[in-house]
Amino acid sequence: MKMIIPFNKKRFSDLIAVIAVLLIIPGFVSAQEPDPYSEEVTIIAPYQPSVEDANKLNIEPQFESPQIDKPQMTYGILSSKVPTSYTPGALRPASITGEPISKLYRNYIKGGFGNYWTPYLELYAGSLRHKKNTFSVGMKHHSSNGSIKDYGPSQFSHNSIDINTGRVMKKYIFSASLGYDRDVYHNYGYMPLDSTQEYDKDSIKQRFQTLSAGIMFKSRESRKSKGKHYFGLNYNLWNSRYDLTEHDVNLKTGFKHITELVDILDNEEFGVDVDAHYYNEQYDSVGNHAIISALPYLKIGMKEYTLKLGAGLHQLIADENIFYVSPEIELQINVIPDAMKLYAGVTGGVKKNTLAAFSAQNPFITPGLRSSVTTVPYKAYGGVNGKIGNNMDLNVNFEAGAMDNMPFFVNVPWQFDTITIADNAFDVVFDDVTFYHVHASFLYRFSEVVNGRLYGDYYAFTMTTLQEPFHTPEMIAGFELKYNFMDKIAANVDLFYCGNQYSASLDPKTMVLTTAGYDIDPYMDISIGANYRFSKPLSFFLNVNNILNNHYEYRYGYPAQGINFLVGASYAF
C-alpha cells in the first residue's frame, strides 16, 4: 500500500534548523576546554564610580474640573404650633459659705504656782455672742511671799476686779465699766545686817487702792448721717495707807462733721474734742484744781494725702490760772494703700502728774510725795509704719520737743513714825528739758509658725538744772521670738536690755540733792515660756523669768528677784 505524506514547507525549515543546532553544540563544547598556556595579570587603579545623568520628566499633571450645573429647587415649610406646658419648680437660693465661727466659752479660769511662794489666779466670766448686749467680769490675783537675800522683806500682792457691759441701741453704742485695784508692796531696799535696828515688816508696808467707774455714749454711723458725736464721764478714786486721797472726775465729749465744700478734695471733716478734769486732793490740806482742754480741728484728704490742722486750747485752774495754746498739726501720706504710711506733726499740751500715776510707775514712793503739772510747749514727731512684703512689719518713729516741770525719781529716806531708813523711798524733782526719742520695731514672720520681733528706744535729754535725767535709761532694747504650731504648742523667748541709769539722794526738808549721783548698771533679762493645748478648753503653761539669775537693780537700791518660774493650767467652760 502506498502512503502519501504531504509536503509542508514550514515544518521542513524548522527541521533543518534543529539539525543544524545539534551539529554545532559539540564544537562549542570543545572550545570551552582550558588552554595549556595561562598567565595572571593584575590591574591596579582607583575605583571611580559614575552615575549616568538623569533626565527630568517635565510632565505636569492636569486636572479638569467637571462643570456641574446647580439645579434650581423650589420648596416650602409647613409650620404648625405644638401646644406645650411647663410648671417651674421651687429654686433653692444660692448661699455663700463663710468661715466657721469658733466656739466661745462663757467662763475661763487660769491658775499657777511658782517659787518665791508665788500663787497666780485669773477668773473671767462673760456673755456669748449677742447682737446687742455684752457683759463680762474679770478677777485677778498675783502675789509673792518670798524674799531676796540680804535685803528687807520684799513681799507684794496685786488684786483686781473689772466689770464691763455694753449695749447697741438704735442710734448709740453704750458702754460702762467698774473696776477696783488693791496693791501691796514693802520698801525692801535696805540691808538689815547694815542697820542698827530691826524694822517690822508692817513699818515698811505700802498699800494703794483705786476705784474707777465710767460710762460712754457714741453715736452710730449711718449712710444718712454726716457726722458722729460722743459723750463720756469717768471717775477715779485713789488712796494710800497714809491718808493720801485723790479724786479725778473726767468729762470727755466731742463731735465731727463731714462736709463736701471743695470738689477736688476726697474728704473734709471738722470737729472739736473736749477733755476736762476736776481734781480734789486730800493730803495735809485739801486742794482743788482743774484742767480743761479743747481741740478744734479741720481734716482734709486728697488721694493719698491727709492733713489735719488744729490748735490745743488748755486752761489750768489752780492757785494761779494759766492759759496755754499748743499746735495740733499732722500730715499723713499713704505711700502704699493699706500697707505703708508716712506721718509727721507737731503737738503740745498740759499733763497732770497724779499720785495714782506716780504709784503705778514706782510703787516705793514716799508718803510725802505730791502731784504736779507738766506742760509741753511743743513736740514734733514723725515716722513710718507698714509692711515690707508679706513677711515684715515695721514701725519707726521719732519725737523731739520741750517739757517744762518734767518729774524725775530720786532717793529719799523712808520715814514711818519714829523709823527712818536712808534712801529707801522715792520722791520726784523737776526740771525744764529738751529731748528727743527714737523708737524702732521690726516684726518678721520666718514661717507660718515662727515670728520674731526686734525693738529698741533711745532717749536723750538736755537738762536745765539737774545733772542727769534720773531713773530714765538712755536706751532699752529687746528681742521676742514666738513659735506656734497649729495652736497646739506655743513657745516664746524674750530678751530685754536696759541701759545705764542714774539716781541721787534728796533731802526732803531742803529739797536739795545731797549726792552727785548714783550709777545704776545696765542689765539683761532673759525669759522663756511654753504653752501646751491639751484640748480646746484645757491648756498647760510654764514661764521662767530672769534665767541668768541676776539680781539687777531696776531702781536704785532695789534688786530684782533671781530666776523665778510659774507653772499652771487654764480651762475654759
Span 84-102, average pLDDT: 74
474 falls in which pLDDT band (50, 70, 90)?
A: very high
Per-residue pLDDT tens for 363-407? 999 988 889 999 999 999 999 999 998 899 999 999 999 999 999
Rounded to 5 degrees, φ, ψ at 97 are -90, 115
Rounded to 5 degrees, φ, ψ at 194 are -90, -5
Q: In whole angstroms, what is the distance from residue 516 CA to residue 513 CA? A: 8
Bridge partners for 227 per DSSP: 257
pLDDT at 29 over 60: no
Note the pLDDT of residue 86.
72
The H-assigned helical ranges of 320-384 are: 355-361
The residue among 425, 410, 289, 419 whose CA lies nearest residue 352 is 289
Per-residue pLDDT tens for 247-266? 999 999 999 999 888 888 89
Span 23-52, average pLDDT: 53
Bridge partners for 301 per DSSP: 267, 306
Per-residue pLDDT tens for 77-89? 777 777 777 777 7
pLDDT at 40 over 80: no
One-letter-per-residue 3-state SS of 448-479: CCEEEEEEEEEEEEECCCCCCCCCCCCEEEEE
Per-residue pLDDT tens for 396-453? 999 999 999 999 999 999 988 778 898 899 999 999 999 999 999 999 999 999 999 9
The residue among 546, 552, 551, 549 whose CA lies nearest residue 566 is 546
Answer yes or no: are the C-beta atoms of 515 and 505 closer than 8 Å: yes
**Burial label, 511 (beta-carbon count in 10 A; 0-12, 13-18, 19+):** exposed
16 falls in which pLDDT band (50, 70, 90)?
A: low
Rounded to 5 degrees, φ, ψ at 508 are -65, -20
CA dihedral of 191, 193, 198, 202, whole degrees rounded to 10 = 30
Among 22-26, 233-237, 307-311, 515-519, which stretch is predicted with the lowest mean pLDDT? 22-26
**C-alpha separations of 491 from 484, 510, 535 in Å:** 7, 52, 17
Span 459-482, average pLDDT: 95
Q: In whole angstroms, what is the distance from residue 287 CA to residue 371 CA? A: 11
Span 128-138, average pLDDT: 93
pLDDT at 9 over 80: no
Answer yes or no: are the C-beta atoms of 333 and 301 closer than 8 Å: no
Per-residue pLDDT tens for 266-287? 999 999 999 999 999 988 778 8
Note the pLDDT of residue 501.
94
User: Which amino acid is residue 59, in one-letter code?
Assistant: I
- The helix (run of H) or strand (run of E) holding residue 271 is strand 267-282
- Residue 359 in 3-state DSSP? helix
Note the pLDDT of residue 155.
95
Q: In whole angstroms, what is the distance from residue 401 CA to residue 442 CA? A: 25
Answer yes or no: are the C-beta atoms of 339 and 387 closer than 8 Å: yes
- The helix (run of H) or strand (run of E) holding residue 13 is helix 9-30
Note the pLDDT of residue 62.
66
The residue among 474, 477, 471, 531 whose CA lies nearest residue 502 is 471
Per-residue pLDDT tens for 210-247? 999 999 999 988 777 788 999 999 999 999 998 899 99
Q: Which residue has the cell 409650620?
A: 79
The residue among 202, 248, 205, 255 whose CA lies nearest residue 225 is 255
How would DSSP label each residue in 525-564? EEEEEEEEESSSSEEEEEEEE-TT----EEETTEEPP-SE
pLDDT at 65 over 80: no
562 falls in which pLDDT band (50, 70, 90)?
A: very high
Pairing mode of beta strands 506-507, 305-317: unpaired
Note the pLDDT of residue 1.
39
Note the pLDDT of residue 56.
61
13 falls in which pLDDT band (50, 70, 90)?
A: low
Those residues with Cβ within 8 angstroms of residue 112's Cβ, 6 or more apart along the chain or in another chain: 119, 120, 541, 566, 567, 568, 569
State the cell numbers at 460. Answer: 536723750
The residue among 345, 348, 346, 413 whose CA lies nearest residue 375 is 348
Q: In whole angstroms, what is the distance from residue 183 CA to residue 321 CA? A: 35
Note the pLDDT of residue 30.
45
pLDDT at 208 over 50: yes
How many CB atoms neighbour CB 366 within 10 A? 20
Radius of gyration of the chain (CA): 50
299 falls in which pLDDT band (50, 70, 90)?
A: very high
State the cell numbers at 30. Answer: 570543545
State the cell numbers at 536. Answer: 480646746
